[in-house]
């Protein structure tokens, strides 16, 4: 395991909480706001789409955002978006519960006018039953999407990439979530064809027993994701065909009701830079991937590829991407 550098993002750091994909706020123009307090993860799943966790090959930095600073940004963005019907999605490119102020953050977010629901993704390993009891009392509905890919401990260990992992403990957490009045459980296994086929069948039965939501996810391979050699990479056609077979075998529906997510279009928080625009950016932190640095300009973070400029320096860049207020830049000349 290599040592990663941790960047603490505070108001005083001057780092805007919009523009980077890995921390802060992502507004994709709907009523769902992604809120990312940390990039940290405690597992090492061999199929991880973000190459997260302490054994990551691509990432050299962990980012963690001060809670009150994060709340300031959330309040501003929610206010802009119309102050009603917003779902706060506490997600992460790692494990949200690795954020040390996770429960206080959830409590404070629940008080923001306009937020009607909180949702979160978790691998479950850092969740304690007392935390769930606190979340249950928060005052607005909460959905917990729990990643559980196997029901037996041996298969679970392989899929978590760490030998201390116990599927049986995560199932206990699932049972506790399901027993709570204001918490909604969604089991979110990744199907790794030819590796956890039996495990997925067990999870289908578990979802029936707990009377909870189930969203089986397709194993996808991306440029920077980890590739799990023991699983087949199948087409979407085969994926949906298999879901139909399991629906018949288990006498249940495996299609998630669209009402569960209730997405609707909402005003987008304004972009501050256009594609092809040239700006001077102040370098403020190392990037998430190797050979990247983070610069700031016009109150947004910009990830600058192939940049080795020193922190505190200034570089001239061209914006090459600004989708959803997530900015990528290229140096106009080498530094």
- Shortest distance, position 42 Cβ to ligand SF4, whole Å: 7
Question: Which residues are CB-contacts of 229 (< 8 A; sequence separation ≥ 6)?
Answer: none
- Shortest distance, position 162 Cβ to ligand SF4, whole Å: 9
- Shortest distance, position 160 Cβ to ligand SF4, whole Å: 7
Looking at the Cβ atoms of 165 and 269, the one nearer to ligand SF4 is 165
Q: Which residues bind ligand SF4 (CB under 6 A)?
A: 41, 43-45, 48, 50, 52-53, 94-95, 123
- Shortest distance, position 47 Cβ to ligand SF4, whole Å: 7
Decide: helix, strand or coil at residue 207.
helix
- Shortest distance, position 27 Cβ to ligand SF4, whole Å: 22
Looking at the Cβ atoms of 55 and 80, the one nearer to ligand SF4 is 55
Residue ranges of the alpha helices (H) in the chain? 67-81, 102-110, 129-136, 153-160, 167-178, 197-210, 236-250
Distance, in Å, from the CA atom of 303 to the CA atom of 296, rounded to the nearest integer, reads 9
- Shortest distance, position 88 Cβ to ligand SF4, whole Å: 20
Looking at the Cβ atoms of 164 and 280, the one nearer to ligand SF4 is 164
Cα→Cα distances 64→7, 40, 67, Å: 6, 8, 9
- Shortest distance, position 77 Cβ to ligand SF4, whole Å: 24
Distance, in Å, from the CA atom of 334 to the CA atom of 229, rounded to the nearest integer, reads 38
Q: Is residue 46 a contact partner of residue 226, using CB atoms and an 8 Å limit?
A: yes
Looking at the Cβ atoms of 140 and 162, the one nearer to ligand SF4 is 162
Residue 148, strand partner residues: none
Looking at the Cβ atoms of 16 and 94, the one nearer to ligand SF4 is 94
Cα→Cα distances 49→59, 190, 263, Å: 13, 11, 24
Cα→Cα distances 117→174, 260, 324, Å: 20, 12, 22
CA 205 to chain centroid: 26
- Shortest distance, position 91 Cβ to ligand SF4, whole Å: 10
Q: What is the largest CA-CA distance in the chain?
A: 62
**In what helix (H) or strand (E) does residue 39 lie, and over which residues does it extend?**
none
Q: Is residue 44 a contact partner of residue 54, using CB atoms and an 8 Å limit?
A: yes
Q: What secondary structure letter does DSSP report for 30? A: B
Looking at the Cβ atoms of 219 and 327, the one nearer to ligand SF4 is 219
Looking at the Cβ atoms of 145 and 151, the one nearer to ligand SF4 is 145
Looking at the Cβ atoms of 226 and 300, the one nearer to ligand SF4 is 226
């Amino acid at each position: 395991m290599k040592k990663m550098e941790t960047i603490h993002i505070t108001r005083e750091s001057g780092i805007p909480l919009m523009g980077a994909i890995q921390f802060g706020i992502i507004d994709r123009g709907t009523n769902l706001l992604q809120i990312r307090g940390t990039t940290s993860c405690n597992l090492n799943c061999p199929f991880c789409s973000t190459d997260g966790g302490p054994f990551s090959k691509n990432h050299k930095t962990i980012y963690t955002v001060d809670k009150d600073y994060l709340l300031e940004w959330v309040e501003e963005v929610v206010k802009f978006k119309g102050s009603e019907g917003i779902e706060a999605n506490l997600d992460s490119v790692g494990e949200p519960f690795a954020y040390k102020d996770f429960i206080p953050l959830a409590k404070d977010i629940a008080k923001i006018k306009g937020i009607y629901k909180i949702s979160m993704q978790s691998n479950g390993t850092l969740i304690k039953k007392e935390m769930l009891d606190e979340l249950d009392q928060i005052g607005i509905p909460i959905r917990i999407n729990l990643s559980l890919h196997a029901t037996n401990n041996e298969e679970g260990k392989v899929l978590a990439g760490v030998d201390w992992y116990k599927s049986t403990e995560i199932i206990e957490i699932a049972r506790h979530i399901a027993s709570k009045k204001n918490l909604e459980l969604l089991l979110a296994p990744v199907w790794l064809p030819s590796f956890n086929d039996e495990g997925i069948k067990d999870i289908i039965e578990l979802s029936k027993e707990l009377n909870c939501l189930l969203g089986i996810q397709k194993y996808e391979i991306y440029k920077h994701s980890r590739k799990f050699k023991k699983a087949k990479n199948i087409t979407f056609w085969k994926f949906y065909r298999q879901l139909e077979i399991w629906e018949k075998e288990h006498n249940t529906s495996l299609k998630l009701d669209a009402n569960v997510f209730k997405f609707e279009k909402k005003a987008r928080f304004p972009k501050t830079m256009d594609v092809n625009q040239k700006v001077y950016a102040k370098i403020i932190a190392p990037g998430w991937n190797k050979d990247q640095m983070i610069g700031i300009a016009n109150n947004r973070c910009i990830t600058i590829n192939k940049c080795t400029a020193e922190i505190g320096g200034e570089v001239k860049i061209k914006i090459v991407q600004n989708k959803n207020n997530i900015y990528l830049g290229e140096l106009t000349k080498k530094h």
